[in-house]
Structure 1
Amino acid sequence: MSFQQALSGLNAASRSLDVIGHNIANAGTTGMKSSRAEFAEIYASSAGAIGGTNVGLGVGVADVSQQFSQGSLSITGNDLDVAINGGGFFQVKAPDGSTAYTRAGNFEQDKQGNIITNSGAQVMGYATDANGVRQSYDAIPLKLPTGAPIPAKQTTKMAAEITLDASAVVASTATPPTPIRTYGTSLTAYDAQGLEVPVGLYFQKAANNSWNVYTSVNGSDPAASTPFQLNFNADGSLNTTTSTVPAITLSSPNDPTRTFTASLDLGNMTQVNARFAVSDLTQDGYTAGQLTGIKIEDTGVITATYSNGQTQAAGQVALVSFRNAQGLAPSGSGYWVETASSGQPVRGAPGEGTFGQLRSGALEESNVDLTAELVNMMSTQRAYQANAQTIKTQDQVMSTLINLR
């Protein structure tokens, strides 16, 4: 009798409807990957069965496979929302200490500054230096620098890119003599406490292709400083052989006796027939600064922006991949866990090898195709009805046999 076959068909169709219902229910779940019920026919294992005379026993659900195709990216504008555009999974550490993996990048920050998921799992990443260079592939919980401000940095290097006027009159031959402050500029350096130290640079033409440079620190009179000389080649470039640029001695505004030196790079200076112009002034010091913003780069590097205009890296988001992603076991809350079938995770970084890049301010939507799921639902419903009809027909056959007289 075919009751068993029809019953197995009903069970398989019911299981398929469960899978379809789960997909439809999670059509709006961030990072969700749809599943598909896969069926296999069932035959009795009988030594006496011969070829086509072995009637099957029905159908069974062989597997519920996951579809890891890319979902669409939805722009959110939230700095801590991150979408993976390509392969890979985020690695997280659940509150119970276990390791899990997810495609959902709707992260947030807890009161300690840790980057966490909606369910409280810590997002894992790699330690970097302030410039974003990865230190190792050892995964650690990512934490934002929301506590104390970054300390001040004392200036050690200064540089200026300036164009001097080749047609300027030699200062000593002008009537009256050209004042020292005629051609000058200033920049702001910083002492160890982050206090501003104004530094002035003043240029006075001493001879053709030769200029004296006077300095001023904390508003001092540049005429009181000892000048140094810059010499220029015939093409207007700086003659680095005959020009000697000394380090500048700076002093703290709080205590003039506390002095420190900073090198001065004038290698990009030129002398041409053009008006005096300052193209660029740089120095490497800064005052203390509070955190004002966070940005996650395409490479996964987390960049922190501070009120003093500085930016520093605060780690790099880690990605992992598996040789057999289908072997991952879903554990709820958008997480998967490693199994023997999936193999061990391979760690990497966004944009490297087969790993996708990150898109900050965006989330990966569910890859559920609602149209396809609704069509599958109708097909599965018809299959369920057909199996129920098989039971009804078989019941009528049995009833006819029993009622024979």
Structure 2
Amino acid sequence: MSFEQALSGLNAASRSLDVIGNNIANAGTTGMKSSRAEFAEIYASSAGALGGTNLGLGVEVGAVAQQFSQGTLSITGNDLDVAINGKGFFQVKSTDGSTAYTRAGNFKLDKTGAIVTNSGATVMGYPTDANGVRQSFDAQPLKLPTGAPIPAKQTTKMAADITLNAAAPIAATATPPTPIQTYGTSLTAFDAQGLEVPVGMYFTKMANNSWQVHTSVNGSDPSTSTPFTVNFNADGSLNTATSPVPSLTLASPNDPAQTFPITLDLSKMTQVNSAFAVADLSQDGYTSGALTGIKIEDSGILTATYSNGQTQSAGQVALVNFRNAQGLSPTGSGYWVETAASGQPVHGAPGEGTFGQLRSGALEESNVDLTAELVNMMTTQRAYQANAQTIKTQDQVMSTLVNLR
């Protein structure tokens, strides 16, 4: 008489309870994926059995399968918290140099400016230029320049979107004559050291559809500058053919001898029957600035904000996927590693192809269904008790045989 079937049932039920217990224990773990025990029956041999008389030897746990269904997204408001809404894994480099993958996006910033996980693994990303254009799919550690401010940038071009009043009198015929400063505006440029260079532009109507432009630098008298002329078409748009705009020469406040040229774009200027108005002024220079904040966009672009008002991209969060995610091997701390069963990782970016989008300021909760796990626990407990009862019954039968007279 054999107890093997019942013993195998006890072992299988015990392992299933271990899996269920682990699921319940990690119900609050960010990015955790639940598992389930999958059973398989055991036979000594199916060959040679006649009439279905080959009795089974019990049960075994065939596999502990991971369930990679989407977890609920929980809003946290933390800029470095990020969740994957869809397929994909974050790629990280562990402290021992090995590569791992995770769904937990509760990232931190270490003292060197690197984006890391709670266990110190470095988050990997793709390099981008300052405007967020990806340069390659060669994953590298995401790092922000926290140790030093970004350097100043010298202004190279300026643009103005200005509306001139078509009904304004010609300056020379007005009584009294219209002063140069009547229609004007100013903009701040920057030299190579990030020092501010005030630039003024003043407009004087010389004739119908024709205006003279005087400039001033660092507070100089605009009347002493060499003016240039802008002409307008019948519809009020700028006549670019007869309105060549020269480059301006600016001087550093530290040393007036240190000059630098800039281009001036006035192509959006118009002349209509409306009061003088400045719609937009822009220039491409800035002073140095320290890091004040970071944000991860839905596309994975890491945007850094600086005290000088500038924003620059510092990389893009890398995502990977696998043909068989079930083949990944869990290693703890919310990490999985590649195996022969999972296949090699397929690299991509958030929101591209089949990869999910990122949600900044949110975390993916565990996909454990506590109600289902508690029901499974009760079912497995009953299975354990039933197998124990089988052993008890077998023992009673054997005791009856031994006590035969």
If the length of structure 1 is used for normalisation, what is the TM-score?
Answer: 0.99
The aligned counterpart of 1:359 is: 359
Could you say which residue in structure 2 is the equivalent of 1:335?
A: 335
Task: Provide the rounded CA distance (Å) in 2 between the counterparts of 1:137 and 1:50.
Answer: 61
Deviation at residue 147 of structure 1 after TM alignment = 1.2
Provide the secondary structure at the position in 2 that maps to 1:112: coil
Q: Secondary structure at the residue paired with 2:132?
A: coil
CA distance in 2, matches of 1:48, 1:349: 56
Displacement, 1:2? 4.5
CA displacement at 1:313 relative to structure 2? 0.7
5 Å-filtered alignment, 1:270-289, equals 270-289=270-289
| Residues 251 and 259, structure 1, Cα contact 8 Å, conserved in 2 | yes
Q: Report if the CA contact (8 A) 1:238-1:268 is conserved.
A: yes
* Amino acid across the alignment from 1:166: A
Contact kept? 1:23, 1:34, Cα under 8 Å: yes
Corresponding residue of 1:375: 375
User: Which AA in structure 2 matches 1:334?
Assistant: G
CA distance in 2, matches of 1:380, 1:254: 81
How far is the alpha carbon of 1:135 from its aligned partner? 1.4
- Residue aligned with 2:313, SS: strand
Provide the C-alpha distance between the structure 2 equivalents of 1:157 and 1:304, rounded to a whole number of angstroms.
24
Any unmatched runs of 5+ in structure 1? none
Residue 2 of structure 1 contacts residue 391 of structure 1 at CA under 8 Å; is this kept in 2?
no
Task: For residue 326 of structure 1, give the secondary structure of its aligned residue in structure 2.
Answer: helix
Mark the runs of 5 or more structure 2 residues left unpaired by the alignment: none
- Name the amino acid aligned to 1:91: Q
State the match for 1:162 in structure 2: 162
CA distance 1:373–1:46, shift in 2 (3 Å) = closer
Which amino acid counterpart does residue 311 of structure 1 have in structure 2? T
Q: Deviations over 1:337-383 (max 9, x none)?
A: 11110001111111111111111111111000000000000000000
Match of 1:404 in 2: 404
- Give SS of 2:303's match: strand
1:184 CA displacement = 0.4
Q: 1:8 and 2:8 equivalent?
A: yes
CA–CA distance in structure 1, aligned partners of residues 95 and 243 of structure 2: 64
In 1, Cα distance between equivalents of 2:244 and 2:134 = 39
CA-to-aligned-CA distance 1:234-261 (integer Å, 9 cap, x gap): 1111111111111111100111111111
**Displacement after TM superposition at 1:173 (Å):** 0.3
1:199 Cα shift? 0.5
Paired residue secondary structure (2:315) = strand
2:185 counterpart of 1:185: yes
Give the aligned partner of residue 83 of structure 1.
83
SS of the residue corresponding to residue 391 of structure 1 reads helix
What's 2:42 paired with?
42
SS at match of 1:49: coil
Q: SS at 1:189's partner residue? A: strand
Which residue of structure 1 aligns with residue 114 of structure 2?
114
How far off its partner does 1:47 sit? Answer: 3.9
**Partner residue in 2 for 1:60:** 60
Q: Distance in 2 between matches of 1:50 and 1:39?
A: 26
The alpha carbon displacement at 1:50 in A equals 2.0
* Amino acid across the alignment from 2:136: S
> Counterpart of 1:247?
247
Partner of 1:93: 93
Return the alpha-carbon distance in structure 2 between the equivalents of residues 84 and 172 of structure 1. 67
> Could you tell me whether the CA contact under 8 Å between 1:163 and 1:279 is conserved in 2?
yes
Whole-Å separation in 2 of the counterparts to 1:120 and 1:230: 61
